[in-house]
Structure formats: structure tokens, C-alpha cells
Amino acid sequence: MSSTEPANTEQGPRSEAWKTALTVLQTAKPPYIPAGVEAMTVLVEFPPGDPGTPPHRHSGPAFGYMLEGEMLFELEGEPERVIKAGETFWEPGGDVIHYQDGNNRTDSRSRFLVTMLCAPGQPMLTLVDDEELAQRKDRRAPRPA
């Protein structure tokens, strides 16, 4: 048998596709991750025009991938931006407020995957009340005109 012929095994020839199957979509340097974190991957789906989750924070970093539609995304200290299908996003979690994750389109749904590292003994998501939003209003990036 020559070296160019596939091996004749019970499982068949091995694929070489794995060598080019990986595409890096995002890299990030998250903050320190304490021992005992729990990783959670969730699928989020919002109907057309839905404003999304009210202002909130996550107990640990979150890494996301937009599957379908568009999301209006805004973290404390950063200007709002639109994340489109095929794009990634991440947030450090902890004390940072996540202001927006709503559907930016009124004609189609939005769907995204998020993998979160949840701090031990803390909820994955905590809503931020109006009083705290008012106290931290100077940390929010200027709003579009």
C-alpha cells in the first residue's frame, strides 16, 4: 500500500478536516476567575423590536455569539453598538452594568448564545434598580442624539 492511499481500518480513513475546521472568532482577557465558578451556556431569543433584559450585571464574564438578527449592545462606560449575526461580544461581568441587549430590528427576531462564568454562590444575572442607575449615571457613555 502506498502512503497516498487511505488506511484500511474498521473505522475508515481519518479525516483531515479538523486541521482547518477551527476559526477563532474572539479572544479576550477576562478578569481573574475564582475557583469554583460554574460555566453556563444559554440561548437568548427576543421577538422583533423587543427591548431585551432591563439593565443588569453578571457575576462573572460572559462571551457571546450572535446567531440571527441584530442586538443593540451597551456596557457601562462604552457607547452602544449594534452586534450583527456572525459577530461576537463579551463583557467582564462583576460590577459592570449591562444596559442593553435588545433586538435592534423590528422586522425579525434576534437570537444569540452566551457562555457565562458564574461566581460561586451568586446568581448569573442581577437586575440593577433605578436608584443605582441614577447614582452611576456619570459612568454611562454619552447617548446618541
The predicted-structure confidence for 107-144, as pLDDT tens digits, reads as follows: 999 999 999 999 888 899 999 999 999 999 999 999 87
pLDDT at 58: 94
pLDDT at 115: 94
Q: How far apart are CA 75 and CA 26, in angstroms?
A: 17
Least confident of 5-9, 40-44, 51-55, 71-75: 5-9
Nearest to 44 by CA among 15, 71, 13, 16: 71
Distances (CA, A) of 31 to 42, 77, 99: 21, 17, 20
pLDDT at 85: 98
pLDDT at 9: 54
Burial per residue of 13-26, b for 16 or more beta-carbon CB atoms within 10 angstroms, e otherwise = eeeeeeeeeeeeee
Q: State the average pLDDT over residues 21-38.
A: 83
User: In which residue are the cell numbers 446568581 written?
Assistant: 123
Q: State the average pLDDT over residues 25-49.
A: 88
Contact 78, 3 (CB under 8 A): no
| 70-104: pLDDT as tens digits | 999 999 999 999 999 999 999 999 899 999 999 99
